[in-house]
A and B are shown apart, each in its own frame.
Chain A
Amino acid sequence: MFKSSRFPIYYKGHPRMFVKDKPIFWWALKWVHARFIIRELTSVPVAFYAIILILQIRALSLGPEAYANFTNWLKTPLSLSLHVISFLFVIYHSVTWFNLAPKAIVIRIGKNRIPGLVITGLNYVAWAIFSVAIAWLFLNLDNLM
């Protein structure tokens, strides 16, 4: 394993290779690197919301009283600030994810490769459709059930 240290390390078989020391906060020095780390860290708010969903399902399963406690907690400043921050991060996650999708997905029709712009566009269309559908479901749930 490579281990950074204050001194170059030489390996057997790689006599001329040495590992340069890198500061821990190397990514904070350049905006492109910081943006990369921010993008990777969007996974934390994603996990945060997954945990909120688990707590919501738990509260629902325990009954109306537990659920009222849960929704009261959602109104606290702590919860609201966590949700605002997480919302900004998950939007950033969606945008960066869809924009990178053409790099991961290669679809061909016959010999022609579908252009990346089309793949990204389809992702945004799907995003819009699902968002509207879920918002509609929540707004009309009391009439539907």
Chain B
Amino acid sequence: MKKSSEPFWWALFGAGGVISALFIPVILFIQGLAIPLGWIESPNYQHLYQLFGSPVTRLFLLALISLSLLHWAHRFRFTLYDGLQVKHLNVLIAIFCYGGAILGSLAAGYYLWLI
């Protein structure tokens, strides 16, 4: 039997599902809604820079971003298959989804490196 790469992508999908479910709601709410709407005051630039630049935060953000993107890649890929039944575009969709997630992860790694 041909060895399948599905369990590998599924594991990343699962890890991304957990980390995004635990952390994205609160971070999105604070940074994307509460601060822009003025409900709470924004920490100043220097302090945010220090926070985002610390090794622990960097590793955490890299994991959060790349696993969330891989979670999307796997789930969205199968939504396209099942929802729109575009099974004949199988390879193209897989390249778009996983490729996009990998590019996004590389970009995240690069900018985290620069901080």
Contacts and interface: CB of A to CB of B under 8 A. Distances in A.
A57 B112 contact: yes
B79 A37 contact: yes
A43 B21 contact: no
Interface residues of A, number: 58
Interface string B18-30: 1011111111111
A49 B33 contact: no
B107 interface: yes
A50 interface: yes
Contacts, number: 167
Contact of B37 (A3, A80, A98): A80
B22 A126 contact: yes
A128 to B, nearest CB: 10
Interface in B75-115: 75-76, 78-79, 82-85, 87-88, 101, 104, 107-108, 111-112, 114-115
B50 A145 contact: yes
A132 B45 CA distance: 22
A141 interface: yes
B40 to A, nearest CB: 6
A87 B33 contact: yes
B44 A142 contact: yes
If over half of A's interface residues share one DSSP class (helix, strand or loop), that class is named, otherwise mixed; here it is helix
A90 B112 contact: no
Contacts of A117: none
A119 B83 CA distance: 30
A23 B20 CA distance: 33
B43 interface: yes
B75 A40 contact: yes
Given A53-B65, A87-B33, 7 more contacts: A40-B82, A43-B72, A49-B32, A49-B68, A60-B49, A74-B31, A90-B24
Interface of A: 1-4, 22, 24, 27, 37, 40-41, 43-44, 46-47, 49-54, 56-58, 60-61, 64, 67-68, 71, 74-75, 79-80, 83-84, 86-87, 90-91, 93-94, 97-98, 104, 123, 126-127, 130-131, 134-135, 137-139, 141-142, 144-145
10 contacts: A22-B85, A40-B83, A43-B79, A58-B107, A87-B28, A87-B32, A97-B21, A134-B27, A141-B48, A141-B51
